[in-house]
Structure formats: C-alpha cells, structure tokens
Amino acid sequence: MLWGPSMVGYGEAHYRYATGREGDTFRVGFAPRKAKLSLYGLQDAPRWEELSARLGKFTTGASCVYVNKPEDIDLEALAELIADAWAAGVAG
C-alpha cells in the first residue's frame, strides 16, 4: 500500500506516544529515494544487532535504514531482518 507519494508499506500498526499523540503507520516498508533506498520498521526488530552486523554497507537515521543500492547489502540478511521485524509486530 502507498503511504504518501513514495512510501510503500506493508501491514498496519497503531502507535501512541507518552504525550498522547497517536496514529497509524505501516509495520515494515521502503521508499525508493533519489540518493538512497530508505527501509522502515527494521531497527526495533528483536534481532537487529545480530542481523545488521551481517547486512553490509548501510547507514541509519532516526527510524530508517539507508542503503545506496541493493548490491551493497546481503539480501538474505535483509530478508531475515524483515521477517523478524514483521513477526515482532514492529511498526515503521
């Protein structure tokens, strides 16, 4: 499902902050940006530390994992990371 003009998200999750702000978002997703591919919903996965060590060349932001191109990462590790985040119900 498209979330905005360029974000592709899978699943749905409701969030609520301690401030009372709440909303809906996707569980995992991505956005093909001009400079880098943005991946969402992965950093809070239970096995993030273990699987990100195998992932390859990437950087992180507040809630994103940035990849220059798919050839820079281990796609098997990415698949495991997505499955782990999905199973845990982590929201993007």
Q: What pLDDT is stored for residue 62 in this prediction? A: 83
Segment 4-25, tens digit of pLDDT: 788 898 988 888 888 999 988 8
The residues, any chain, with a CB within 8 Å of residue 52's CB and separated by 6 or more, are 58, 65, 77, 81
Domain housing 8: 2-15+23-88
Q: What pLDDT is stored for residue 91 in this prediction? A: 59
Q: How many domains does the chain have?
A: 1
CB 2 within 8 A of CB 64: no
Segment 13-70, tens digit of pLDDT: 888 888 999 988 888 999 998 889 999 999 989 999 999 999 999 999 988 999 999 9
